[in-house]
Structure 1
Amino acid sequence: MKYVLLLALGLLLHQTGFGQDIYTAKGAGISFFSSAPLEDIEAKTNKAVSAINIKTKVIYFKVPITSFEFEERLMQQHFNSTYLESDKYPDAEFKGKILEDVDLSVAGTYNVTVEGTLNLHGVDKTYREKGTISVSGNTLQLNAKFNVKLADHKVKIPTIVVKNIAEQVAVTVNATYTATAK
């Protein structure tokens, strides 16, 4: 009986500990920085969710727009009501694929290129960006930096504040993934 219990426990650990295809990140960090002649604007969130299938190399992100926090409350209010219209477009989503033939089940750090569609402010645009994924045990760490042109997503900047807000913002992504149970 003891051996049967040990065998069952071993099979359970093997099934949940190895060969996982889907890794998820809750509380992924996304920030953006806008540098304009009159002021710099920065906002951050740790409310993004993401998933990576390490077999198919498909990656997905979803970010609630209202979760971005600014130093000044008025900036946050304008960001949500005037620019990103978070009542109409509550989330930004990215659906893409890792292009390199990397084995994300093997420990190491991999330079990757991700190509996919970002839906922001109700507008889809294809991006092809570079990043790194570090694999250690049942954890993946993704880091990436890229630029988003606001006009590409029909985010309008009124001429009165054109010197306060950059036409393009630098986006930084940091996400830690763990294997999901089968």
Structure 2
Amino acid sequence: MKYMILFVLGLLMSVRSFSQDVVTAKGATISFFSSAPLEDISARTDKAVSAINTKTRAIYFKVPINSFEFEQDLMQQHFNSSYMESGKYPFSEFKGTINDNVDLTKDGTYNVTVSGTLNMHGVDKTYQEKGTIIVQGGVLKAHAKFVVKLADHKIKIPTIVMKHIAEQVEVTVDGTYTAQGK
């Protein structure tokens, strides 16, 4: 019995120390912009969640597709039903690693490269993109901007609206991360 109590205490302490290595961003912001010959389209959500393990430099993002808000309701409807099929593919997620050997527990501004897999519209694609992480007082702020080609994720654009929708979109990601329990 004594050894069981020591084992459970040891397990709890290791879980606690592991959780201190993980910082989370609830309400991370993801926006996108596309410029086509007849129309610019932009949308934004602050419903993404993200986590970074400061020790292993693993990074994760998940966003509900139907949370993106557009200026026009009709654009939002078409985005969810015709293009992203959010009923069938309700989330996009990214699982990756910060490639650079940076100490995310120390204050500073770090230019980093992140590589990993983006699952969007049911299709996995590997990306390697640059970003910035600012660490100040235990709070991390991450920012990245990159381009996604719709065809890479099998998102089809009907010929009739081709001049209204660009074949690629610029995605911007921002998150403010704090340790769990703070």
Using the size of structure 2 for normalisation, the TM-score is 0.89
Task: Decide whether the 8 Å contact of 1:20 with 1:181 is kept in 2.
Answer: no
CA distance in 2: counterparts of 1:49 and 1:109, whole angstroms: 22
CA distance in 1: counterparts of 2:140 and 2:179, whole angstroms: 9
Task: Decide whether the 8 Å contact of 2:85 with 2:121 is kept in 1.
Answer: yes
In the alignment, which residue of structure 2 is the partner of 1:131? 131
The amino acid of 2:170's aligned partner reads A
> How many pairs are equivalent?
166
Q: Please report how far the alpha carbon of residue 20 of structure 1 lies from its aligned counterpart in structure 2 after TM superposition.
A: 2.5
CA distance in 1: counterparts of 2:73 and 2:31, whole angstroms: 16
In the alignment, which residue of structure 1 is the partner of 2:11? none
In the alignment, which residue of structure 1 is the partner of 2:72? 72
Task: Decide whether the 8 Å contact of 2:143 with 2:174 is kept in 1.
Answer: yes
RMSD: 1.6
CA distance in 2: counterparts of 1:181 and 1:114, whole angstroms: 26
In the alignment, which residue of structure 2 is the partner of 1:171? 171
The amino acid of 2:73's aligned partner reads R
5+ residue gaps in structure 1? 1-15
5+ residue gaps in structure 2? 1-15
Using the size of structure 1 for normalisation, the TM-score is 0.89
Q: Please report how far the alpha carbon of residue 164 of structure 1 lies from its aligned counterpart in structure 2 after TM superposition.
A: 0.4
Is the aligned partner of 1:37 residue 2:19? no
Q: Please report how far the alpha carbon of residue 126 of structure 1 lies from its aligned counterpart in structure 2 after TM superposition.
A: 0.1
In the alignment, which residue of structure 1 is the partner of 2:5? none
The amino acid of 2:105's aligned partner reads S
1:1-182 equivalences under 5 Å are: 20-181=20-181
CA distance in 2: counterparts of 1:71 and 1:138, whole angstroms: 36
**Deviation readout 1:160-179 (Å, 9 max, x if unpaired):** 00000000000000100001
SS at match of 2:128: strand
Between the aligned residues of both structures, percent identity stands at 73
- After superposing on structure 2, the runs of 4+ consecutive aligned residues of structure 1 that deviate more than 3 Å are none
**Deviation readout 1:75-103 (Å, 9 max, x if unpaired):** 00000000000000000000000000000
CA distance in 2: counterparts of 1:61 and 1:161, whole angstroms: 30
In the alignment, which residue of structure 2 is the partner of 1:8? none
Q: Please report how far the alpha carbon of residue 180 of structure 1 lies from its aligned counterpart in structure 2 after TM superposition.
A: 1.3
SS at match of 1:24: strand
